[in-house]
Amino acid sequence: MRIRIVDAFTDRPFSGNPAGVLLLEGGAFPAAERLQEIAAEVNLSETAFAHPLPPGGAADWALRWFTPVAEVDMCGHATLATAHVLHTTGLATGPVRFTARCGILSATAHPDGSLTLDFPTSPLSEEPVPYGLADALGADPVSVHDTGEHIGDLLVELRDEATVRALAPDFAALAAHSRRGVIATAAAEDPTGGYDYVSRGFFPGVGIDEDPVTGSAHTALAPFWSARLGRDDLTGLQASARSGLVRTALRGERTLLTGAAVTVIDGELLTTF
The rounded radius of gyration (Å) of the Cα atoms in the chain is 18
Instruction: Look up the CATH superfamily of 123-251.
Output: Diaminopimelate Epimerase; Chain A, domain 1 (3.10.310.10)
Catalytic positions are 46
Distance in angstroms (rounded) separating the CA atoms of residues 125 and 109: 33
Mean pLDDT in residue range 228-243:
97
> Where do the CATH 3.10.310.10 domains begin and end in the chain?
1-117+256-266, 123-251
The 10s digit of each residue's pLDDT in 113-145 is 999 999 999 999 999 999 999 999 999 999 999
Distance in angstroms (rounded) separating the CA atoms of residues 248 and 204: 25
Question: Quick check: 106 and 95 in contact, CB under 8 A?
Answer: yes
Distance in angstroms (rounded) separating the CA atoms of residues 83 and 78: 9
The 10s digit of each residue's pLDDT in 6-57 is 999 999 999 999 999 999 988 899 999 999 999 999 999 999 999 999 999 9
Per-residue confidence (pLDDT) for residue 97, from 0 to 100: 98
Per-residue confidence (pLDDT) for residue 128, from 0 to 100: 96
H-state helical runs in the chain: 32-42, 76-88, 133-137, 161-165, 171-174, 218-229
Distance in angstroms (rounded) separating the CA atoms of residues 208 and 42: 13
Per-residue confidence (pLDDT) for residue 266, from 0 to 100: 97
For domain 1-117+256-266, give its CATH number from 3.10.310.10, 3.20.20.70, 3.40.50.300, 3.10.620.30. Answer: 3.10.310.10
Residue 227 neighbours by CB under 8 Å, 6+ apart: none
Mean pLDDT in residue range 182-195:
96
